[in-house]
Each structure stands twice: as C-alpha cells, then as structure tokens.
C-alpha cells in the first residue's frame, strides 16, 4: 500500500478529534487526540499538551479509544448525569467490558469503534452497547484525481517556493532604434559597447575593478544629452546594480517603464521586478511582472511566472491572472495548473476537484481555463491599486519625452504611512492623490514615513502627472525652502558626495536668487565634481578620502582619512592599497612599503598587495628585497620577473657587475629570454668586455633576429670605431623589464641576413654558418 492509499484510509477510519493510540513500527506507542491528517503524516495532541507529528512510514497500527472520542461521554460522566455515583450503578447498567475494551489493531475495526463512539447515548440511562447506524460519509475522491491534486499542490508549490528572479544583463550591442541617424550618438555608443564588451570578456564587471564606474559615467552623460530616447536607462540601471546601487538602478527602470511603455524590453521589466523583490517591495515586483506577462507567453520565463504566482497569492491579488488572461491563454496547461493551485491555496478544493473532473483525460481547453478564471476572485487589494494608480503611465513615443505640466503649490492634506499614499490639497481646495514614490525630497519622505501625524501646515511644491485612470496625480513633491535652506541642502548633499542632488538644489536656488553669495561658483564647482561619477558617495571616511584625493587634490588630508578608514574598518583593504599608492606621491615610499608588509598577511587579495609591493621596491631601489623574494619564489616565471626588475635597477644605478650576475641567473632559468640577453650584453659592454657583449648579441641574432638586439650591436660597433671612452656614454639603448623569447624557428630570415651583412658581421661569424642557422662561438 502506498502513502496516498494509507492517508486515504486514515481519513476514513480515524475521525478528527477522536482519542487514538498509535503503535509505531519500532514498537513504541503514542496516545492523544487526533488533530490533523496530512499528505505524509498525522498529528496528535498528547495529554501533556505537546503535539506529536508521526510520519506515515512509521505507522504500524492505530486504535480508537471509544470512551474518550470527542463528543462521547465517559462512563463516569454518564453515571454522574443520571444522578447515581459510578460505584452504586447496577451491574446491568455498568458499561460492558466489550464497550471499554480497546478495538483490534487494524483500520477497519478502528472505524467501527469510531462509529459507535460518535453515536454515544444522549440519555445517561442508555448504555454504550446500543447499536446505531454509522452516519453516511462523503463519497471518496477518485485516486487519479487525488494524485493530480497532490501533484499540483506539492510539485507546483515546491517550485514556487524555490523560484527566484535573477538580473538579466541587457544587450549592450546595437540598440533597437531603427530611425536613429545621429553620428555623434552612434560614435559614443560604440565606445560604450566596446568598453563593456571588453570588461565582460575579461570578467571584470565587478565594481572592485573600477571599469563599470567609467562606463556608467559615459552612459549617464549620453542619457542626459539624449533624454528623449528609450533603452538607455535600463543599461545604465544595470551598471548601477553592478556597482551596488540598487536604489539608483530601480529609479532608472521605473522612469523607463513610466514614460516608454510602448517600447519596453522584457529584460527591463524582469530586472525591475528582480530588484523590487530584492528590496522587499512585493507589490511593485508583482506590478512589473504583470506588465511583462501582459504581452508575452509565461512559458518564456518560467521562473518569473512562478514568482508572479507566488506574489499574487501572498499579497492576495490572484485577480492579476484575469488581467493578463489573453497572454495566458497561449499556454492553457500552465494556466490550468496555476488556477488549480490557486484554488487549493484559497481553500476551494471542491472547485479544484470539479475542474479536474471536467477536464478529464484531455488537455485543458482554452474555454475551460476562461470559465475557471471568471470564477476566481476578481478584486485586487487596495494597496496594489495604489501602486498602479500612482504611476504616471502615459507612454511617450520613442522620439519624445514627457513634459512636466508646471509646478503647483499645496499642502499635505493626509498621508497614511502604513499604506504609502496620501493627498495634497491646493489653495482652491482641489485634492490630488500621490504615492510615496512621487516624493523626490528625501527629508520630506523621511518625515512622512516616520511621523504618524504630519503637520498640515507644511507647504510643498509639486507637478501634475497622469494616473492609470487618466486623472491628475501629484508628482515630484518637494518641501518649499528659502534660499538659505536651499544652499544648506546643497552643501549637505555635496559633503556626502551626492553631487546630482546638490546640483538640483543649487539650481533651484539660482532660479530664485541668481545673485545669492557664492551660489554660482559653488554650482560650477559641483558640475566639475559631478563628472567623476565613479567616486563613492557618502560621508564615511573612505568616501571622503577618495574625494579628497581625486577631487580636492589634498593628498595629506586624503592620507589621514585613509588611515581613519582603516582603523574604523571602512573598506579596510581598499584603504590600505589606496594609501600605499598615495604615499610615494608624498615622497614617503618607505612608509608605504612598511604599511603593505604589515597588512599583507591578513589581506584577502594578496596578489594585488604583492604587485604594489614590487612596484614600491622598484621605486625605493630595494634590490635586496627583490632578490630575496626571487630566491624564495617557487614559480620559475615569477622568479624570472622579480630578477628582471632587480637587474633593471642595478643597470639604472650603474652597478653593472651585480646586474651581470642577475641576468646570468635569469638565463639559467630561461636561456631564450631576449630581453635578459640584451641587458646582459649592455652590462658587459659597460664593463669594457666588448668581445663578450658582441659574441652574445651575435649568438642571439643567429638564433632569432630581433631589431633591438641588432640596433644595440650596431651602436656598440660604432662606439668601438669612435673610441670606447666616448662611445659608451653615447649609446642610446632602452633597458627592459619585460620578457620576450627567441623564436624556435631554425632558419634565419632574409631580412635578418641583409642586416647582418650590412653590419659586416660575417667577419665574426661565417656567412655559411649563419645561413645554416647555428653559431658555436
């Protein structure tokens, strides 16, 4: 017998509320009042008040205790009801042993016991032995329909539980703008796509690499210049999200949805829903998904559909299915299962059973789905309607942007912070609905959301938008401020690095009072700062340090703030690296080295710290540490690079003997390193060991022609002709710390042969041996 059949028998044999004794497969017993029978378990309440959940696989046998079934009086209660104590009852009226005996341990006998117990005598003089007819039970659900119900309830429920929305990167290739011919736009967009494509190909889209900040800055400027074009904001939103700015990302996506409804891409709506869901805005996420599926088959985005269904049930807005019926009818099987799941969740299992019976063995028809949708709840929650009604939904065409209707003055008449909406009343008594998302003033929004009774005397400025029903709604709501208050707000935002908000307030000030002291100069300065959009915002030490370094150019102040950030654990590792790169500019390279050596052990990105250290060792001419690192490094390639840096420093310091030693070590590791060969030849020549230098260079050219090697050999020969003393100092040679290797090709090229002959090298190396591609010294 499978679990489903077991549960079905338990439902028939054990009435809820009866007192049962359960024998488990391990021999132990559990006794209590039966409270629930689930798909894979039963639940009982024990005498001590605790509840026990018993899996069906653990059930051995079950017994109903007749005298204690809910609604059946015990023998003592029956005696008391007749006025005679139990001890004084006649034997003929005492409960028979059969009525108090526990029934046999099987489900059929348990059902009979339960039936007798449920028909306990109403008169205390009647005995429990009185035979009564069992009450008729409802017809059993056919096994196949029960199976389908469980399949949908458990299967679809589990999928909904595990469903989630992921961010879909928008296409950064060609924008879907057929009529756009602006060459300047196309050129800028090409640069943006090229940078984004490269960052994506090298897997450096994470904000820690700093690439997305620069791309976002370019794209934001393009969006501002071409504000009437769609599709730019969703891509800017994606970059904001990659930088850890979900609020800014959602704001850009909402703007796109409001004004470019006719040209929306699916990724715009799906990403808006994903970010809203991530922020806990379930109703807003549901609205974005409704828009997405109102014109597309849900089968294209199965995860998003499961999320929509879960949100619709969670927020009691299952009527959303009826709103997008036309799109859903393209996939009747998915729609039918969703409706059945919704009916079960709404405690309408009988309707679900009827629907499955009506469908039969055939696939669900469109007409059946339509009739089921009509029978579903049709009302949306007031909160959901507020979300949709508060949105400016008058769509703009691809070539025009929505224009504001003009600024008005009014007062906040009422606001419900538990529902995020309220009303503004103007001087003529006209009321305008507004949603919390229409408030662009941060201070005003904070006061409204945290104060139960907002003062009605507070005047606000607002603009008119168009709601979903075509009526006027208030948008862009801000407190009315004096010029001094506007300047104070601008300074406050600038100190936090929020330059766009600071610019907005200073522009409002200049519109009111163009001659306000320092306002125009402050505005021009903010415009310069705003160009550097990749600089972090906020008043935390690390953000202030970055602004001090990159905007204010105050390196000493930046160094102090970086140290403060390190001690307060504010972007600690980034602060360490930034400070280490800043200190050499203050001629404090040794201090930078000590800082990195102290923090290297605890750093997560030890490779980056190590690379900065190598650069600092080079700047400090600390060859001892470079050579020590090379000796302890087990990677031949890294050891080679470390020795190259050390040798380079020795050459720059005219320590040619130590440079020679270093380069000979490198050639032991990699004998075909052309850069090491050239630098070694130069070191030999500067020690007046001309023949060794020429021999090494000719050997290198014999193996593989290299233009820089040829140039060095030519200059050495010219120096010999003009006199060693003067020629050495006049050699023009670029030292290298990079590695290049000799080609494995055995033949010497015609180009190389020509230059060798021009340099008259045949006097040193016989031409026929050069042509054979070998040189033995």
Please provide the DSSP assignment of 508-577 as one string.
HHHHH-TT-TTHHHHHHHHHHHHH-TTSPPSSSHHHHHHHHHHTS--HHHHHHHHHHHHHTTSSHHHHHH
Q: What average pLDDT does the segment 241-268 reach?
A: 85
Under a CB-based contact definition with an 8 Å cutoff, are residues 46 and 32 in contact? yes
What confidence category does residue 429 fall into, taking pLDDT thresholds of 50, 70 and 90? Answer: confident
611 and 686 in a single domain? The answer is: no
User: Taking 90 as the threshold, does the pLDDT of residue 291 lie above it?
Assistant: no
Per-residue model confidence as pLDDT tens digits over 509-535: 887 788 888 888 888 777 666 555 556
467 and 543 in a single domain? The answer is: no
Encoded tokens for 297: 């088959």
649 and 763 in a single domain? The answer is: yes
What confidence category does residue 127 fall into, taking pLDDT thresholds of 50, 70 and 90? Answer: very low
User: Taking 90 as the threshold, does the pLDDT of residue 336 lie above it?
Assistant: no
**Residue 30 DSSP SS3:** strand
Cα separation of 19 and 102, whole Å? 11
Under a CB-based contact definition with an 8 Å cutoff, are residues 561 and 245 in contact? no
Query: Whose CA is closest to 111, among 142, 135, 139, 127?
Result: 135
Cα separation of 651 and 665, whole Å? 15
Cα separation of 695 and 681, whole Å? 9
Beta-sheet pairing, 41-45 with 59-64: unpaired
With a pLDDT cut of 90, the percent of the chain lying above it is: 5
639 and 762 in a single domain? The answer is: yes
Under a CB-based contact definition with an 8 Å cutoff, are residues 666 and 644 in contact? yes
Q: Please, what is the average pLDDT of the chain? A: 74
User: Taking 90 as the threshold, does the pLDDT of residue 238 lie above it?
Assistant: yes
Q: Which residue has the higher pLDDT, 231 or 386?
A: 231
User: Taking 50 as the threshold, does the pLDDT of residue 282 lie above it?
Assistant: yes
Final residue belonging to a domain, choices 434, 465, 480: 480
Cα separation of 754 and 656, whole Å? 32
Question: Helix, strand, coil % (nearest 5) of the chain?
Answer: 60, 10, 35
pLDDT of residue 119: 40
Containing domain of residue 416, as a range?
Answer: 406-480
425 Cβ neighbours under 8 A, 6+ residues apart:
410, 411, 413, 431, 432
User: Taking 90 as the threshold, does the pLDDT of residue 274 lie above it?
Assistant: yes
Burial (Cβ within 10 Å: 0-12, 13-18, ≥19) of residue 417: middle
Final residue belonging to a domain, choices 480, 503, 527: 480
Under a CB-based contact definition with an 8 Å cutoff, are residues 700 and 678 in contact? yes
Q: Which residue has the higher pLDDT, 500 or 714?
A: 714
Q: What average pLDDT does the segment 173-177 reach?
A: 74
Q: What average pLDDT does the segment 750-776 reach?
A: 42
318 and 373 in a single domain? The answer is: yes
Q: What average pLDDT does the segment 367-396 reach?
A: 71
With a pLDDT cut of 70, the percent of the chain lying above it is: 73
Does 218 fall in a domain? Answer: yes
96 Cβ neighbours under 8 A, 6+ residues apart:
127, 128, 129
Under a CB-based contact definition with an 8 Å cutoff, are residues 270 and 301 in contact? yes
Under a CB-based contact definition with an 8 Å cutoff, are residues 639 and 633 in contact? yes
Q: What average pLDDT does the segment 678-693 reach?
A: 86
Under a CB-based contact definition with an 8 Å cutoff, are residues 53 and 41 in contact? yes
Encoded tokens for 58: 């653990």
670 Cβ neighbours under 8 A, 6+ residues apart:
636, 640, 676, 739, 741
238 Cβ neighbours under 8 A, 6+ residues apart:
167, 169, 170, 249, 271
749 and 655 in a single domain? The answer is: yes
Under a CB-based contact definition with an 8 Å cutoff, are residues 307 and 337 in contact? no
Q: Which residue has the higher pLDDT, 742 or 462?
A: 462
Does 220 fall in a domain? Answer: yes
Cα separation of 324 and 498, whole Å? 40
User: Taking 80 as the threshold, does the pLDDT of residue 389 lie above it?
Assistant: no
Under a CB-based contact definition with an 8 Å cutoff, are residues 644 and 674 in contact? no
Does 508 fall in a domain? Answer: no
Query: Whose CA is closest to 468, among 394, 520, 565?
Result: 394
- Which phi and psi (to 5°) does residue 678 adopt? -65, -50
User: Taking 70 as the threshold, does the pLDDT of residue 103 lie above it?
Assistant: no
How many Å is the Cα radius of gyration of the chain? 42
Per-residue model confidence as pLDDT tens digits over 477-490: 888 888 888 888 88
Final residue belonging to a domain, choices 620, 640, 661: 620
What confidence category does residue 652 fall into, taking pLDDT thresholds of 50, 70 and 90? Answer: confident
Q: What ranges in 243-365 are assigned the alpha helix state H?
A: 246-259, 266-278, 282-293, 302-314, 320-323, 325-328, 332-345, 349-359
User: Taking 70 as the threshold, does the pLDDT of residue 728 lie above it?
Assistant: no
Q: Which residue has the higher pLDDT, 310 or 116?
A: 310
Under a CB-based contact definition with an 8 Å cutoff, are residues 647 and 738 in contact? no
- Of the listed ranges 167-181, 280-294, 313-327, the least confidently predicted one is 167-181
What confidence category does residue 738 fall into, taking pLDDT thresholds of 50, 70 and 90? Answer: low
- Of the listed ranges 523-532, 616-625, 649-658, 746-755, the least confidently predicted one is 746-755
pLDDT of residue 366: 74
pTM: 0.40
Strand order across the beta sheet in which 51-55 lies: 51-55, 41-45, 29-37, 19-24, 59-64
Per-residue model confidence as pLDDT tens digits over 608-632: 887 787 778 777 777 777 777 666 6
Rounded to 5°, the CA angle 297-302-305 comes to 75
Q: Residue 621 gets which letter from DSSP?
A: T
Burial (Cβ within 10 Å: 0-12, 13-18, ≥19) of residue 410: buried
- Which phi and psi (to 5°) does residue 138 adopt? -60, 150
**Residue 358 DSSP SS3:** helix
What confidence category does residue 71 fall into, taking pLDDT thresholds of 50, 70 and 90? Answer: very low
User: Taking 50 as the threshold, does the pLDDT of residue 38 lie above it?
Assistant: yes
Encoded tokens for 203: 């897997």
Does 48 fall in a domain? Answer: yes
Under a CB-based contact definition with an 8 Å cutoff, are residues 341 and 312 in contact? no
Per-residue model confidence as pLDDT tens digits over 537-570: 777 888 888 888 877 778 898 999 999 999 988 8
Cα separation of 268 and 45, whole Å? 52
Q: What average pLDDT does the segment 435-451 reach?
A: 79
Encoded tokens for 618: 């080079």
Cα separation of 488 and 508, whole Å? 12
653 and 563 in a single domain? The answer is: no
Does 244 fall in a domain? Answer: yes
Cα separation of 661 and 459, whole Å? 81
pLDDT of residue 563: 92
Does 661 fall in a domain? Answer: yes
413 and 560 in a single domain? The answer is: no
471 and 563 in a single domain? The answer is: no
Under a CB-based contact definition with an 8 Å cutoff, are residues 159 and 306 in contact? yes
- Which phi and psi (to 5°) does residue 426 adopt? -90, -175
Cα separation of 652 and 451, whole Å? 70
Q: Which residue has the higher pLDDT, 724 or 96?
A: 724
User: Taking 60 as the threshold, does the pLDDT of residue 46 lie above it?
Assistant: yes
- Other Cβ atoms less than 10 A from the Cβ of 187: the count is 9
How many structural domains is the chain composed of?
6
Rounded to 5°, the CA angle 317-321-327 comes to 150
Q: Which residue has the higher pLDDT, 402 or 306?
A: 306
Does 511 fall in a domain? Answer: no
Under a CB-based contact definition with an 8 Å cutoff, are residues 127 and 95 in contact? yes
Does 689 fall in a domain? Answer: yes
**Residue 113 DSSP SS3:** helix
pLDDT of residue 239: 92
Encoded tokens for 180: 């756009």
Burial (Cβ within 10 Å: 0-12, 13-18, ≥19) of residue 488: middle
Cα separation of 508 and 773, whole Å? 78
656 and 735 in a single domain? The answer is: yes
Under a CB-based contact definition with an 8 Å cutoff, are residues 18 and 35 in contact? no
653 and 766 in a single domain? The answer is: yes
347 and 443 in a single domain? The answer is: no
């Amino acid at each position: 017998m499978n679990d489903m059949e077991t549960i079905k028998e338990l439902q028939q044999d054990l009435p809820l509320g009866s007192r049962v004794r359960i024998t488990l497969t391990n021999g132990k017993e559990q006794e209590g009042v039966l409270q629930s029978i689930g798909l894979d378990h039963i639940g009982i309440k024990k005498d001590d008040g605790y509840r026990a959940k018993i899996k069906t696989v653990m059930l051995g046998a079950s017994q109903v205790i007749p005298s204690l079934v809910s609604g059946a009086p015990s023998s003592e209660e029956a005696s008391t009801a007749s006025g005679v104590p139990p001890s004084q009852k006649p034997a003929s009226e005492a409960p028979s042993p059969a009525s108090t005996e526990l029934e046999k341990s099987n489900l059929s006998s348990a059902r009979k016991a339960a039936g007798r117990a449920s028909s306990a005598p109403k008169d205390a003089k009647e005995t429990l032995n009185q035979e009564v007819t069992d009450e008729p039970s409802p017809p059993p659900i056919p096994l196949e329909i029960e199976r389908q119900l469980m399949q949908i309830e458990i299967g679809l429920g589990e999928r909904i539980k595990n469903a989630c929305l992921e961010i879909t990167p928008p296409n950064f290739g060609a924008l879907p703008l057929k009529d756009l011919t602006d060459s300047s736009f196309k050129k800028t967009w090409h640069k943006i796509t090229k940078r984004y494509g490269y960052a994506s190909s090298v897997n450096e889209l994470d904000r820690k690499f700093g690439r997305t900040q620069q791309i976002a800055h370019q794209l934001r400027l393009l969006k501002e210049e071409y504000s009437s074009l769609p599709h730019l904001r969703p891509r800017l939103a994606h970059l904001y999200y990659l930088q850890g700015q979900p609020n800014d990302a959602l704001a850009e996506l909402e703007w796109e949805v409001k004004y470019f409804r006719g040209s929306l891409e699916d990724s715009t709506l799906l990403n808006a829903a994903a970010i809203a869901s991530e922020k806990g805005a379930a109703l807003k996420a549901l609205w974005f998904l409704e828009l997405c599926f109102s014109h597309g088959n849900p089968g294209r985005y199965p995860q998003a559909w499961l999320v929509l269904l879960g949100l619709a049930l969670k927020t009691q807005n299952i009527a959303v299915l009826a709103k997008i019926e036309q799109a859903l009818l393209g996939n009747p099987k998915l729609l039918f299962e969703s409706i059945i799941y919704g009916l079960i969740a709404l405690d309408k299992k009988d309707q679900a059973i009827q629907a499955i019976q009506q469908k039969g063995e055939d696939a669900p028809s469109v007409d059946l789905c339509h009739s089921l949708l009509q029978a579903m709840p049709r009302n949306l929650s007031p909160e959901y309607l507020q979300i949709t009604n508060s949105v400016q939904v008058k769509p703009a065409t691809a070539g025009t942007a929505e224009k504001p209707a003009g600024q008005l003055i009014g007062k906040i008449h009422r606001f419900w912070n538990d529902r995020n909406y309220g009303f503004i009343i103007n001087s003529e008594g006209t009321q305008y609905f507004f949603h919390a998302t229409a408030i662009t003033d941060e201070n005003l929004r904070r006061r409204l959301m945290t104060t139960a009774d907002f003062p009605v005397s507070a005047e606000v400025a607002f603009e008119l938008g168009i709601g979903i029903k075509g009526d006027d709604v208030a948008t862009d709501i801000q407190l009315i401020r004096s010029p001094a208050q506007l300047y104070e707000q601008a300074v406050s935002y600038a100190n936090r690095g929020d330059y766009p908000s600071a610019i907005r307030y200073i522009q409002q000030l200049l519109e009111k009072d163009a001659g306000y002291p320092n306002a125009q100069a402050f505005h021009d300065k903010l415009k310069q700062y705003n160009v550097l959009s990749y600089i972090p915002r906020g008043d935390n030490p690390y953000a202030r340090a970055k602004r001090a370094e990159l905007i204010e150019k105050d390196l000493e102040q930046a160094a102090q703030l970086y140290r403060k950030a390190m001690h307060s654990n504010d972007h600690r590792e980034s602060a360490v690296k930034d400070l280490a790169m800043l200190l050499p500019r203050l001629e404090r390279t040794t201090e930078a080295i000590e800082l990195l050596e102290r923090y290297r052990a605890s750093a997560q990105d030890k490779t980056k710290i190590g690379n900065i250290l190598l650069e600092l060792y080079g700047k400090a001419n600390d060859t001892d540490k470079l050579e020590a690192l090379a000796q302890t490094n087990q990677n031949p390639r890294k050891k080679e690079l470390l020795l190259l840096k050390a040798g380079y420093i020795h050459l720059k310091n005219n320590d040619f003997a130590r440079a020679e030693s270093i380069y000979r070590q490198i050639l032991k590791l990699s004998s075909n390193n052309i850069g090491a060969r050239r630098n070694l030849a130069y070191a030999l020549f500067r020690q007046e060991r001309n023949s060794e230098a020429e021999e090494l260079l000719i050997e290198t050219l014999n193996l593989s022609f290299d233009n820089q090697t040829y140039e060095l050999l030519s200059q050495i020969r010219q120096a010999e002709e003009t006199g060693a003393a003067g020629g050495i100092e006049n050699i023009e040679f670029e030292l290298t710390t990079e590695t290049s290797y000799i080609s494995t090709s055995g033949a010497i090229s015609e180009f190389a042969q020509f230059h060798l002959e021009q340099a008259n090298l045949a006097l040193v190396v016989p031409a026929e041996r050069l042509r054979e591609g070998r040189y033995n010294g």
